[in-house]
Amino acid sequence: MTFADSLICRECSRTSPFSPTYFCEWCFGPLEVLYDYEAVAASISREKIAAGPPTLWRYSDLLPVEASSAADLGAGFTPMVKADRLAAALGLGEVWVKNDTLNPTNSFKDRPVTVALTKALDFGIKTVACASTGNLANAVAAHAARAGLDSYVFVPSDIEPSKIVATAALGTVVAVEGNYDDVNRLCVQLNDEYPWGIVNINLRPYYAEGSKTLAFETAEQLGWQVPDHVVVPIASGALLTKIAKGFEELLRVGLVESADVRISGAQAEGCSPVAVAFAEGSEDVRPQKPDTIAKSLAIGDPADGYYALREVRRTGGAVAAVTDQEIVEAIHLLARTEGILTEPAGGVTVATLAKLAREGEITASERVVIYITGHGLKAPEAIATDDPVPIPATVDGFQAQFDTEE
């Protein structure tokens, strides 16, 4: 069963029954799911979670849909990797990588999508859609196919072909002239024209809840302890805000003894409205025109940017921006130290970890978790290196090119 049946406005706190809507009719503030936390606390336990499936549905008591009706491809419960070699390279003590590249469509977007499409089924919706920079499109198309739903995914026309090659086999891809913000604007307009479930618009309150399972898994995989510090990539800002909410919920229902986690955000300099606001000490997250290789984070007008900024400041974290060159270098650093290949969004996270370590914002005494949210093979153009060295099929040919003692 689910312990939620209402939405609550983040601004005016008015409540409303579940429906496919995303803004408060009173003040136009954003809506989120309201839970009966006392009932959750009476039902949930570490033992019950451990006996559940090896997916995010083990936390169904804290989700707004029932696991029995899930549009499920097996998202969640991805590995936590203790990254000792990465930590040593950065002069840090204990670093963990939450490797969400191993979700069904190789990004964290499978988490919110499985929740959103399950809710779409509850509402009797037959067609789903999204505005996407690539990863969400793939997740929506795959989960829609699994659930027997039609799908339309809208992406910027300059998106990397590698990001959507699989998506085109799963559903209908619509390439829109312009950047992500143009795509999102179109989807808002389409929401008024069609009875669709657009996961990051009229299904957004439910969709966003899937992301907080990253916090749940982090605590469980650390033996029901929270880390000292986490570094989260920022696109719309929803991932960071929901990870913050997830740690707080664990404390509220008695699964952890503390939710004292510093939360820091990571952005690319070519699209860094939240980082700029943080650096200026401002609450005004001003839109930017994106220009970065980290296209999955290229949201110039982040819907949850203000809320992400608020969570960073509340927890004593920081937001930093890194260059495209630093992003590429960080992709290779993670690959060569831990064997994890990430797309540029993960490069942003690793480069930000390095930057915050250099600046003393993250110290060697902290247990740090970084979230790697998408696989490198989704953006091979960004991680390309020199061509392989050709040699003749002889030992002499090898030795002529490579200086090795073994």
Residue 370 domain-assigned (yes or no): yes
d(CA 244, CA 254): 16
Task: Please report, rounded to a whole number, the percentage of residues in the chain having pLDDT higher than 90.
Answer: 87
Residue 239 domain-assigned (yes or no): yes
What value does the mean pLDDT of the chain take? 95
pLDDT for 378: 83
DSSP state of 123: T
Of 131-140, 318-327, 374-383, least confident by mean pLDDT is 374-383
pLDDT for 162: 80
pLDDT band at 406 (very low <50, low <70, confident <90, very high): low
pLDDT for 163: 81
pLDDT for 271: 97
Residues 86, 272, 200: CA angle, nearest 5 degrees? 95
Give the list of residues 6+ apart from residue 354 with CB closer than 8 angstroms, or none. 90, 326, 330, 333
33-61 residue pLDDT tens: 999 999 999 999 999 999 999 999 999 99
Residue 356 domain-assigned (yes or no): yes
- Kindly report the backbone phi and psi dihedral angles of residue 12, in degrees, each rounded to the nearest multiple of 5, phi listed first: -105, -5
Residue 288 domain-assigned (yes or no): yes
Residue 309 domain-assigned (yes or no): yes
pLDDT for 97: 98
288-347 residue pLDDT tens: 999 999 999 999 999 999 999 999 999 999 999 999 999 999 999 999 999 999 999 999
CATH number of the domain that 87 lies in? 3.40.50.1100
CB atoms within 10 A of CB 166: 15
d(CA 289, CA 365): 38
Residue 23 domain-assigned (yes or no): no
Going along 179-291, which residue ranges are E strands?
Answer: 197-198, 229-233, 262-268
d(CA 116, CA 143): 10
CA distances from 179 to 134, 150, 265, 344, 345 (A): 12, 24, 22, 17, 17
Q: What is the mean pLDDT of residues 173-198?
A: 94
Residue indicated by tokens 């929901």: 242
pLDDT band at 381 (very low <50, low <70, confident <90, very high): confident
Question: Is it the case that residue 139 has pLDDT exceeding 80?
Answer: yes
Strands 367-372 and 94-99: parallel
Question: What is the total count of domains within the chain?
Answer: 1
- Kindly report the backbone phi and psi dihedral angles of residue 44, in degrees, each rounded to the nearest multiple of 5, phi listed first: -85, 155
Residue 92 domain-assigned (yes or no): yes
93-119 residue pLDDT tens: 999 999 999 999 999 999 999 999 999
214-230 residue pLDDT tens: 999 999 999 999 999 99
Quote the domain boundaries for residue 306. 80-106+209-383
Going along 147-268, which residue ranges are E strands?
Answer: 150-156, 172-176, 197-198, 229-233, 262-268
Q: Which residues does residue 150 pair with via DSSP β-bridges, in sequence order? A: 127
pLDDT for 123: 96
Residue 202 domain-assigned (yes or no): no
Question: Is it the case that residue 4 has pLDDT exceeding 80?
Answer: yes
Of 138-152, 160-174, 185-199, least confident by mean pLDDT is 160-174
Task: Please report, rounded to a whole number, the percentage of residues in the chain having pLDDT higher than 70.
Answer: 99
